[in-house]
Structure 1
Amino acid sequence: MTKPPKPKPLLRDADKPVRSRPRKPRDPAQPNLPLDPMPERVEPCLALLKTRPPKGDNWVYEIKWDGYRLSVHIEPTGVRILTRGGHDWTSRFPAIERAAKELPVATAILDGEAVVLDGQGRPDFGLLQQSLGGRGGKKRSSTALFMTFDLLYFDGHDLRNSELGMRRHLLEDLVPAEGQGDIRLSEEIDADGDQLLAGACRHGLEGIIAKRRDAPYRSGRLGDWLKIKCVQSDSFVIVGFERSTVARAGIGRLLLAARKGKKLVYVGGVGTGFNQRNAYELREKLDGLITSMPAASVDRKEAIFVKPKLIAEIEYRAWTDDGKLRHASYKGLRDVQDNAAVYEVD
């Protein structure tokens, strides 16, 4: 299978690839240490959204990958690929499963993101969804790659209490830089955060991730990892739609809501970003959820309300003064098993 090109290097000469800092190889004669039990599942460390990159030498940077967060468990009995919500998607990523079996390790847990790259080597969430058959689909993706950025368990040793620098040292020994297989290394980039963000935005990427160099791996959104985006992209609940006689599949506009405590509040709509395929699949799902009971207060005369079962990934530029999305564009539906967090308003 021909592999898509890697993302263009940032802040470097065009003919020089982005590389992590050189690491010493792992000593194969390391002493025998007591083995730690292998976790059945690890709640992921999540990145906290910030508007600007942090300052200081204790932060390292990576590209932000736009896909599905996964953990790859390499176990004595085989490989398991789990979603962020803990669902087993091994069968849906056969190429990643095969690549995991070929890694030179007996037991391991790799943290990373499944992505599909476009012709310019950029992650494309829509292409990933298409490869899996859309939300609720059961297709097996033959084009998804696994970009791994952390190692939580390695040859019988739980690494979660180790510093990021140590975990990366072992990961880079396991998954070599510049590899072109179905499991690839998300490389650290040694650069000024502001310049790196500007470069990522110029190349059409979603943004960057900043990580504390000396932090252990802590589940949840605690601030050890930060995400800084070029364009805002978040998940919202679809609470209704408006019909159109000219738009694809007759969807003129999706009506969106965010969470506010235990309630849903209307945050505006989106009428762009649909293509021929996803529009008709979406309309079929919407028609099956039509209800007379609105899930959020929506002041739109032509609104057709639906049960709040679908979560859409929406790209947008800003918020209006009255709490509505500006310049919104539809990217696709999140899968329930992906456990995507719906945007919360204050």
Structure 2
Amino acid sequence: MKPIHPFEPVRTEKFPVGDNWIAQVKWDGVRILTYWDGNSVRLFNRKKNERTVQYPELTEINTYCHAASLILDGEVIALEKGKPSFHKVMKRDGLRSMENLNWARRNVEINYIVFDVLFYNGEWIISRTLEQRQHLLQKILRPAEGIYSADNFSNSASLFQAIQEQEMEGVVCKNLQSAYVLGGKDARWKKIKNYRDLQAVIGGVTLRENQVNALLLGAYDPEGRLWYIGHAGSGKFTRAEWNELTRQLLNLKQKNSPFINQPSRLQDAFWLEPQFTVKVKFMEWTEGGTLRQPSIQALIRVSPHECLLE
């Protein structure tokens, strides 16, 4: 089984109406597809990067699914104070050392929210409707700790209100009559987000008492130029994580700014070779092209040139 790019929703501000539409929680986690060929299980994220080592619990597929072969689509999440935490799940997703994995498996419990089945018993079923695929999914999933099928809600506006009250990421609305297009992205699935987020490159830092206290963030345009989009010093990082980040980033110092435009915090900045990337949550874009109230969620392992301007 070769990994595929999953179907993606498009962003919207309006809730779709009609009996064919359902809404699901948009979990703040990592999109993971599970591939079972009858002999072994492999896990890949939406960019086709393998994650089998990071989530060994999901390889025990006979404990939670009955099928001769299949491909499942879902989201791996980690809870913190009862809510999904991207920062926490990245402690698993970013691991490369087996020694650290053993520690993380004991300390970072994951859940797998399954919302689709694409391949079953040797047959692609992506041309079937979502309603039919969900019905099959309910038949083949077995009750198991940490494995859940995504719930459907008929009233997307009410679900979104609940999401806002819990300060969670958003909702995804799906047409029950829709097929699943490999690598597709269109309005048969729509996402409405409670807040906005993006991937950004670290192009500079400011220091306080020899420790990084803010990141100067950038994103690339289609011509490959890096634009400064704001700075962030708040978010999910612990003191220990700031200390480790300081150690790593200051090895990347360079004389000149990597940004094509001039950051507002020019005088006290240290410029960096743009190698590290982060996920940032923010309220909106300002008229000047910077992020309003950016908050750092986690370091992420993506190429800097995948951090693109909206």
Q: Decide: shared fold, TM above 0.5.
A: yes
What residue ranges of structure 2 are gaps of 5+ in the alignment?
A: none
Mark the CA change 1:214 to 1:220 in structure 2 (over 3 Å): closer, same or farther.
Answer: same
Q: Is the 8 A contact 1:235 1:340 kept in 2?
A: no
- Once the two structures are TM-superposed, the CA of residue 171 in structure 1 deviates from its matched residue by 1.0
- 2:176: which partner in 1? 213
Aligned to 1:336, the other structure's residue is in SS state coil
- Once the two structures are TM-superposed, the CA of residue 211 in structure 1 deviates from its matched residue by 1.3
- 1:186: which partner in 2? 150
> Are residues 1:324 and 2:290 paired?
yes
Supply the AA of the counterpart residue of 2:189: W
Supply the AA of the counterpart residue of 1:44: P
Supply the AA of the counterpart residue of 2:220: R
Shifted more, 294-303 versus 253-262: the winner is 294-303
**In 2: Cα distance, 1:135 partner to 1:233 partner:** 23
Q: Is the 8 A contact 1:67 1:116 kept in 2?
A: yes
Q: Is the 8 A contact 1:256 1:267 kept in 2?
A: yes
Matches within 5 A, 1:13-32: none
Q: Is the 8 A contact 1:136 1:335 kept in 2?
A: no
Shifted more, 289-298 versus 203-212: the winner is 289-298
Mark the CA change 1:277 to 1:220 in structure 2 (over 3 Å): closer, same or farther.
Answer: farther
Which residue among 266, 269, 272 is the counterpart of 1:303? Answer: 269
Q: Is the 8 A contact 1:99 1:181 kept in 2?
A: no
Supply the AA of the counterpart residue of 1:209: V
Supply the AA of the counterpart residue of 1:168: Q
Q: Is the 8 A contact 1:67 1:114 kept in 2?
A: yes
> Are residues 1:196 and 2:159 paired?
yes
> Are residues 1:342 and 2:307 paired?
yes
What residue ranges of structure 1 are gaps of 5+ in the alignment?
A: 1-38
Mark the CA change 1:316 to 1:271 in structure 2 (over 3 Å): closer, same or farther.
Answer: same
- Once the two structures are TM-superposed, the CA of residue 316 in structure 1 deviates from its matched residue by 0.9
- Once the two structures are TM-superposed, the CA of residue 136 in structure 1 deviates from its matched residue by 6.1
- Once the two structures are TM-superposed, the CA of residue 119 in structure 1 deviates from its matched residue by 3.1
- 2:35: which partner in 1? 73
Instruction: Name the structure where strand makes up a greater proportion of residues.
Output: 2
User: How many aligned residue pairs are there?
Assistant: 298
What RMSD over aligned residues (CA atoms) do the two structures have, in Å? 2.3
**In 2: Cα distance, 1:221 partner to 1:288 partner:** 39
> Are residues 1:225 and 2:189 paired?
yes
> Are residues 1:54 and 2:16 paired?
yes
Matches within 5 A, 1:237-316: 237-245=201-209, 250-262=211-223, 263-273=225-235, 274-296=237-259, 297-299=261-263, 300-316=266-282
Aligned to 1:288, the other structure's residue is in SS state helix
Q: Deviations over 1:291-342 (max 9, x none)?
A: 23432133312221222222211111122111111111110011238x9952
> Are residues 1:153 and 2:119 paired?
yes
Which residue among 108, 132, 136 is the counterpart of 2:70? Answer: 108
Matches within 5 A, 1:99-178: 99=61, 102-120=64-82, 122-132=83-93, 134=94, 139-140=100-101, 141-142=104-105, 143-175=109-141
- Once the two structures are TM-superposed, the CA of residue 343 in structure 1 deviates from its matched residue by 4.2
**In 1: Cα distance, 2:148 partner to 2:137 partner:** 11
- Once the two structures are TM-superposed, the CA of residue 81 in structure 1 deviates from its matched residue by 0.8
Shifted more, 154-163 versus 136-145: the winner is 136-145
Give percent identity, aligned residues only.
24
**In 2: Cα distance, 1:117 partner to 1:175 partner:** 22
**In 1: Cα distance, 2:292 partner to 2:96 partner:** 28
Shifted more, 300-309 versus 149-158: the winner is 300-309
**In 1: Cα distance, 2:189 partner to 2:277 partner:** 25
Mark the CA change 1:259 to 1:180 in structure 2 (over 3 Å): closer, same or farther.
Answer: same
**In 2: Cα distance, 1:104 partner to 1:180 partner:** 12
- Once the two structures are TM-superposed, the CA of residue 101 in structure 1 deviates from its matched residue by 5.5
Q: Deviations over 1:134-173 (max 9, x none)?
A: 5766643521221111100011110111111111111122
**In 2: Cα distance, 1:57 partner to 1:217 partner:** 19
Q: Is the 8 A contact 1:312 1:330 kept in 2?
A: yes
Shifted more, 136-145 versus 86-95: the winner is 136-145
